[in-house]
Amino acid sequence: MRDPTTGAEVARCAGPRPDGACPRVAVGAVLPCAGCLLVPAGAELSAAYPVAGQMTLCPVTLALAMAVSPDTVLLTA
């Protein structure tokens, strides 16, 4: 997690619990990463994902829930 203004690291996160919830807060509470930039380990700051200031759902869980295979047909005629 990085400060959105300075880019300095403010904390680290190992990701969600197996049930998709953040291990640091109660379900429904604002996440510790809210308002921060998430940068994968070893990635450049340009690859950062900005987390909304009032986010309550782990962005990793959200990304995994939205992920589909490139071969998936999303619309049919």
pLDDT at 4 over 80: yes
What pLDDT does 12 receive? 94
What pLDDT does 23 receive? 95
What single string gives the DSSP state of each residue in the chain? -B-TTT--B--------TTS--TTS-TTSPPTTTTSEE--TT--GGG-EEPPTT--S-HHHHHHHH---TT------
What pLDDT does 77 receive? 54
Query: What is the per-residue pLDDT across 28-70, written as a single tens digit (0 to 9) for each?
Result: 999 999 999 999 888 998 889 999 999 999 999 988 888 877 6
